[in-house]
Structure 1
Amino acid sequence: MISRRRILIFICMAFLIAGPAWVFAQRWRGGYRTRDISQDRNGVPNWEVDQNFPGDLFTFARVRYDSYSGRGRGGGWATDYPDSDLNFSLRLQQLTTIKVNPNPVIVNLTDENLRDYPFLYMIEPGGLSFSEPEVMSLREYCYSGGFLMVDDFWGDTQYDNLAYELSRVFPDRQPEEVPLSHQIFHNVYDMKEKPQVPSINSARHGVSWEYSRDGSDTTVPHYKAIYDDQERIMVFICHNTDLGDGWEREGENRQYFAEYSVKKAYPMGINIVTYAMTH
């Protein structure tokens, strides 16, 4: 398990101070994205890690889950993979002193080694359907100090599905709106507002939100949390926003990168990981 006390988190603020001068550290991206990151990282550079301290290496862990949409194990959980995970791992390595594994992983909630990953990332939970073993495993994981981030879903119907599944995990707890004054918005980067990141296609049409299939209002981002008895966030819910697209699509459009990746998606993501690794 990662030793959190040995991860010193002094964040380099250079890319926000200097502006988007570092935009072109990677090649421009596009086209088909292979899922085999051992063979093709789509231009994301690799880096050496200190083999003497394998337990101090942060690994970005994406949750694979079942969906009732008929897509099963290949459904919404894989959205934006692997570019989102690779890019965020790279930027976390570049912009902080956290030692990061260049190879993100996919985990099942029932994996025996789940506790090796104190931070989990789950995406598009609108069709999520937990099995009973997953419910029990996630509950134990969170109460043991683990942290789950949920991202990229829009509208009331998708939120209601997530809320129902989480009520099975935490029958005595409800998600609460996190105020902007909470440290998770300020612990590294000082967020002046709750960031909303649209998909790149919506941004190209000049809007910062996604249209919801159920017709509900998606223009306001919501950040909600489920807390433990010590007021530590166990589950952090990013609703009506898509931080993952800000990571995945950073090299496809200069304006999108400057407006959403640099100003919103990466700062908020780094804040979330920083909180998760220090609480």
Structure 2
Amino acid sequence: MKLHTFIFLFIYTSVTCAQSVAILKYNGGGDWYSNPTALANLVKFCNDNIDTNIKENIKTVDVGSIDIFQYPFLHMTGHGNVFFSDDDSENLRKYLISGGFLHIDDNYGMVPYVTKELKKVFPNKELIEIPKTHPIFKTAYDFPNGLPKIHEHDGKAPKAMGVFHKSRLILLFTFESDLGDGWEDQEVHNDTEDVRQKALKMGANIMKYVFVN
């Protein structure tokens, strides 16, 4: 069996038979493990509110491991440095163009590192701003103004950037928003329920875009 066929079948099986998500572990010293309650809370919210059937046992997977192909959705976060080796970059590129999806949520401070490392993954693709009319802003809940602002850092507007492959959004990079902080247990950041709902609903849109569309 050719490698690309194997990868496609691996992801196809994951998407259709075992809806699972994972946290992406990367090198470089950045705190990939930040927001430890976030993804589990988002999955529970989705299962309870938009009829997904995603496993609530969240795993961690290394960016360079073939295990990433078991998960149609990967979530990556942190505050600082990110480094992808050549092997990491090739593995992630194959995963994404074969049907996988990566959401990178900047917990503040990742932007210069992520943009640099993504050039290794996709030398011939650019991060582009996702228009407010894109389906990801209305799959389950309507966000006519685009990405919501969850945490204030330096007064800048929230941005949703993406990488597309054959018209499909394969990578979403959210920053100046901090969605993951809004997904965490309420007592972690003491966000109001309104703020948490905005974060969770936008997260649900992302999940529905990946698992249903």
Per the normalisation by structure 2, the TM-score is 0.87
Residue 203 (structure 2) aligned to one of 241, 258, 269: 269
**Root-mean-square deviation over aligned CA pairs:** 1.8
**Cα drift, residue 251 of structure 1:** 4.6
The one of 112, 120, 130 equivalent to 2:74 is 120
Residue 220 of structure 1 is matched in structure 2 by 157
After the TM superposition, which residues 1-279 of structure 1 pair with which residues of structure 2 at under 5 Å, given as runs?
1-4=13-16, 55-56=17-18, 58-67=19-28, 72=29, 75-81=30-36, 83-124=37-78, 126-154=80-108, 158-193=110-145, 194-198=147-151, 209-211=152-154, 218-228=155-165, 230-251=166-187, 256-262=191-197, 264-279=198-213
Bigger radius of gyration: 1
Letter in 1 for 2:24: V
Alpha-carbon deviation of 1:125?
6.0
Q: SS where residue 77 of structure 1 aligns?
A: coil
1:113 counterpart SS class: helix
CA distance in 1, matches of 2:199, 2:164: 23
How many angstroms apart in 2 are the aligned matches of 1:3 and 1:100?
Answer: 10
For 1:98-125, what per-residue CA distance to the aligned partner results, in whole angstroms no more than 9, with x for missing partners? 1121210100122222211010000026
Aligned counterparts of 1:166 and 1:115: Cα–Cα separation in 2: 19
2:136–2:205: 8 Å Cα contact kept in structure 1? Answer: yes
User: Is the 1:249–1:257 Cα contact (8 Å) retained in structure 2?
Assistant: no
Query: Conserved in 1, the CA contact under 8 Å of 2:105 and 2:173?
Result: yes
Point out where structure 1 has 5 or more consecutive residues left out of the alignment.
5-54, 199-208, 212-217
Q: What is the distance in 1 between the residues matched to 2:148 and 2:42?
A: 17
Q: Does the C-alpha gap of structure 1 residues 131 and 102 become closer, same or farther in structure 2, counting only changes over 3 Å?
A: same
In structure 2, the residue corresponding to 1:76 is in which secondary structure? coil
Q: CA deviation at 1:252?
A: 5.4
Cα deviation, 1:57-94, whole Å, max 9, x if unaligned, reads x2220000112xxxx4xx4100111x112211221221
Distance in 2 between the 1:272 and 1:133 partners? 27
Identity of paired residues, percent?
28
Comparing both structures, which one devotes a greater share of its residues to strand?
2
Whole-angstrom distance in 2 between the partners of 1:89 and 1:250: 15
1:246–1:257 Cα contact (<8 Å) kept? no
- State the SS of the aligned residue for 2:60: strand
Does the CA contact (< 8 Å) of 1:227 and 1:233 recur in 2?
yes
Aligned counterparts of 1:195 and 1:237: Cα–Cα separation in 2: 14
Number of residue pairs matched by the alignment = 200
Code of the aligned partner of 1:240: E
* CA apart distance, 1:238: 0.3
Residues 1:123 and 1:183: Cα distance change in structure 2 (over 3 Å): same
Q: What amino acid does structure 2 have at the position aligned with 1:59? A: S
Matching residue of 1:29: none
- How far apart, in 2, do the equivalents of 1:242 and 1:143 lie? 26
2:129, 2:159 within 8 Å by CA — same for their partners in 1?
Answer: yes
In structure 2, the gaps of 5 or more residues are 1-12
Letter in 2 for 1:226: V
Normalised by the length of structure 1, the TM-score is 0.67
